[in-house]
Amino acid sequence: MKGTSFFDAPVKKIKLINRSASSDITDNYTGGSVEDVNVELCITAKKKGSFGPLRSLTDRFQVAQTKLLTFGDMEFNEVSAEVNIGGRPRRVGVIGCNNDSGLIDISQSVDRAPNGHPVFDSVRLQSLEILEDIFSVIGDEK
């Protein structure tokens, strides 16, 4: 979706995450054999559907000072959304306990060296792609 603010891009997937979930929640599924578990709930729109623009999602997920979102009887401390930025689907943090709200995740798009670290030029190219997309919107709004 080139030339569109990523805040206006349609959300195709929402992921609710609870890092280090309590054993009360996970014991039912792990038989009590695992102590430290992350719980993720992924909600995906049908093929041509969406959950609306990212902007509306961030408004809907306003949370209290606890920084937790309750879904059913489970609490989640992170929410991310998948939107197209720079012509690619990218994960954007909506709610995060480590100030990663608004973070655009490029970790799945960069090349890695044999030692597992990201290759600098690959990170640079991904960053430029995202910035060009954002600047194209800013230029359109002038």
- Give the pLDDT score at 44: 92
User: What is the longest distance spanned by two Cα atoms in the chain?
Assistant: 58
Q: In the numeric block, which tokens belong to residue 110?
A: 């960069």
Ramachandran assignment for 114, one of left (phi > 0), alpha (psi -120 to 50 degrees), beta (any other)? alpha
State the amino acid at position 33 in one-letter form. S
**Which residues does the chain have with pLDDT short of 50?**
1-3, 142
The full DSSP string for 97-127 is TTS-TT-EE-TTTS-B-TTSPBPHHHHHHHH
Q: In the numeric block, which tokens belong to residue 95?
A: 């709610």
- Give the pLDDT score at 132: 77
Cβ-based burial of 24 (10 A; exposed 0-12, middle 13-18, buried ≥19): exposed
**pLDDT tens-digit series, residues 51-82:** 888 877 766 665 555 556 767 777 778 888 88
Could you identify the residue written with the tokens 């798009």? 109
Cα 59 to Cα 57: distance, rounded to the nearest angstrom = 5
- Give the pLDDT score at 83: 83
Cα 63 to Cα 70: distance, rounded to the nearest angstrom = 9
Q: Enter the DSSP assignment of 36.
A: S
